[in-house]
Amino acid sequence: MITITGKSVFGGVSIGKISFYKRDKKVVKRLHVEDTEGEVTRFQSARATAIEQLKKLYEKAMDDVGEANAAIFEIHQMMLDDLDYIESIENIIRTQEVNAEFAVATTADNFSEMFASMDDAYMQGRAADVKDVSERILTILSGAGESGVKTDEPAIIAADDLAPSETVQLDKDKVLGFATMYGSSNSHTAILARTMNIPAVIGLGQELSEKFDGRDAIIDGFTGTIYIEPDEATLELMREKQRQDQEQRALLEQLKGKENVTKSGQKVNVYANIGNIADVGLVLKNDGGGIGLFRSEFLYLESSTFPTEEEQFVAYKQVAENMAGKRVIIRTLDIGADKQVDYFNLAKEENPALGYRAIRICLTQPEIFKTQLRALYRASAFGQIAIMFPMIISVDEVKRIKEIIAEVTEELDAAEIPYNKNIELGIMIETPAAVMVSRELAKEVDFFSVGTNDLTQYTLAIDRQNPKLESFCDTHHPAILAMIKMAADNAHAEGKWIGICGELGADTTLTEQFLAMGVDELSVSPAMILPVRKRIREL
Ligand code: PEP
Ligand code: MG
C-alpha cells in the first residue's frame, strides 16, 4: 500500500480505481504563412466556436454548481472578446507572417506571464484562465478531440492539476473523487469540488504519478490522504468511515431543502460557523442558510506575518462567492486571550481573557483594522457580506468603529472601488456590559449575535480555558438565559434581528426556549445544522 498525504479540499471517502486525466499534448510549431488574412479568419472562426462552447459550458455549470461558480465561464468568454488579446494574436500573424496556432500560443504565454507577475492575487489567478481559454482555441484549430477521462466506470480522477473548465466538463456521475499533484485550495477547481460535494485532495506532489492509472485507491478527503492499493485493514477502516459519512448524508437528504420552521409556523435562520474557506463545502453540504460567524482571526493564526489586504480580500470574496448570495457574516479580528499570534508581539498579561484582545486591539491599532475593513468592503461587491465586531462593551466603541469605516469607504470611493453601500453591520453580544446597554447598542447597528462562549465566561466569572472549573460551569444558568432574552427584547424593540453564534446555539435542549425569545438566527457548526433543523421542525 502506498500512502500519500496532501491537502484536503473536501471531506468524504471515495473508493475506486484511479483514472488519470489525459490531455492531448499539443506541440505548437511556428510556420511561415503567405496568406496571413486566411490565418486571421481561421483564428476568428476558432474564437467564435470557443465562445459557443463556453456558452454551453456556462449553462451546464449553472445547472451543476450554481451561478457564482459558473461565472468563470463568463470570464473566459470576456477574455476571448478582449481587444488586447485579439489584437495581439492578429498582429503576430500579420507582422511575423505565422500560423494562427503560434500566434495564440505566444499571446497566451505573454498574457499569462503578465498576469502572474502582478501584485494582485486575483489577477495572478487569471494567468491560468488565459492559458485555459487559449488551449481551447488551440484544440479547435488543431481539430483534435476533447481531452478527458477514458473510463466507463466511476473513478477517482487523478491529474497534475485540473483547470476549471476541465473539472466542470467531467461527467459528475463518473467522478468518485479528485486527487491532484498540485493546485491550491483557493483555485476554482477546489471551489468546484466543494460545491459538487466530491471528496478531493490536492497538493499530493509528484509521488502521485501516472503509473497508478487503473490501480485501486481510496481518497480520505477528511484527512487529505490517498491510499493506493490499500491493504485489507485500511479498506475496512475506510469502508466504515464511508458508511458513517453516508449515514449523515442520508439524514441530510431527508432534511435538505426543507425550511427551518416550527409546526406553528415560526421561522428561524440556521447558519453555520466557519474558521476557514475549506469549511464552506461543509456548510453547503449540510444545507446551511448562510454563514453566521466566519472567525476571520484564523487567517491571521495560519499566517507567519500580517495577512495582506489582497490575501484577505481573496479569502472573503471566495467565501461570499461560494455562498452564492446567501448572507456571510464575517467577524473582524478576534485575537488575544487564548488566540495568540506571535507577530502581534502582545505582552504577557495577568488576565488575558480580560485583557488586550479583539476590538481593543483593532481600535488602538487602526492600521491593522483598516487593512481588514478595506478587504471586507472590497469583497462585499461579490456577495452578501455582513460585518460583525467582537467583544463590544460600549456605544462609544461602535461610534469609533463607524468613524474608521467612514475613512475606509471614503478612500474606496476616491479610488472608485466598488463595494456594497448597504452592508449590514452587527456586533457580538458577549459581555454582560453589552447586554446591559443593548437597547442603546441596537440603535447603532443592524443586528446582534450572541457569543455565548464568552458571555458565559464573563457572566459566571469562569475561565473558559480552565478544565478544573468544568463542574461549576452551568451553561444553562438562568443568568445567561436572562441575558440572551434581554438582548433579544432590546434588539426587537429597535427593529433589529438577533442571532446566537456561541456553542449554546446548537444545544437542541434549548432550541425551544430560544424560539420563545424570538431569536431570529442560530449559527452552529456545519455538522449541527441538520440536527438543529430537525429539532425546530419538531416544535
Ligand atoms: C463566543 O464567544 O461565543 C464566540 C462565538 O466567539 P469565540 O468562541 O470565537 O470567542
Ligand atoms: Mg467570543
Instruction: Give 461 Cα–ligand 2 centroid separation in angstroms.
Output: 14
Whether 247 shows a pLDDT value over 90: the answer reads: no
Cell numbers of 411, please?
A: 478612500
Assign a CATH topology to domain 36-142: Enzyme I; Chain A, domain 2 (1.10.274)
Q: Whose CA is nearest to atom 9 of ligand 1?
A: 295
Residue 332 near ligand 1, beta carbon < 6 Å: no
For the chain, the C-alpha Rg in angstroms (whole number) is 26
Instruction: Give 539 Cα–ligand 1 centroid separation in angstroms.
Output: 27
Whether 186 shows a pLDDT value over 60: the answer reads: no
CATH number for the region 2-23+149-241 comes to: 3.50.30.10
| Catalytic residue list | 188, 501
Torsion angle, alpha carbons of 293, 379, 322, 362, to 10:
-20
- Tally of residues, the chain: 539
Ligand 1 nearest atom to the CA of residue 501, by list position: 5
Least confident of 179-183, 319-323, 427-431, 467-471: 467-471
Q: What is the mean pLDDT of residues 149-171?
A: 79
Instruction: Give 84 Cα–ligand 1 centroid separation in angstroms.
Output: 49
pLDDT at site 276: 81
Q: Smallest Cα–Cα separation from 465: which of 358, 362, 354?
A: 354
pTM as predicted: 0.65
* pLDDT grade for 188, boundaries at 50, 70 and 90: low
Q: What is the mean pLDDT of residues 162-183?
A: 81
Q: Whose CA is nearest to atom 8 of ligand 1?
A: 453
- What is the rounded average pLDDT for all residues in the chain? 91
Residue 451 near ligand 1, beta carbon < 6 Å: yes
Task: Provide the annotated binding site for Mg(2+).
Answer: 430, 454
Ligand 1 nearest atom to the CA of residue 293, by list position: 5
Q: Do domains 36-142 and 267-538 have the same CATH topology?
A: no
Least confident of 65-74, 142-151, 355-364: 142-151
Which carries the bigger pLDDT value, residue 41 or residue 25? 41
Residues near 171 by Cβ (< 8 Å), separated by ≥ 6? Answer: none
Encode pLDDT of 249-279 as tens digits: 787 788 989 999 999 999 999 999 998 887 8
Cα-based angle 73, 79, 85 (whole degrees, multiple of 5): 160
Ligand nearest to the CA of 301: 1
Ligand 1 nearest atom to the CA of residue 449, by list position: 5
CA distance 209 to 181: 8
Domain spans in the chain, listed from the N-terminal domain onward: 2-23+149-241, 36-142, 267-538
Instruction: Determine the distance from the C-alpha atom of residue 395 to the mean position of all C-alpha atoms in its chain, rounded to a whole number.
Output: 32
CATH number for the region 267-538 comes to: 3.20.20.60
pLDDT at site 454: 94
Residue 454 near ligand 1, beta carbon < 6 Å: yes
CA distance 415 to 431: 38
| Element (DSSP H or E) covering residue 297 | helix 297-301
Q: Whose CA is nearest to atom 3 of ligand 1?
A: 451
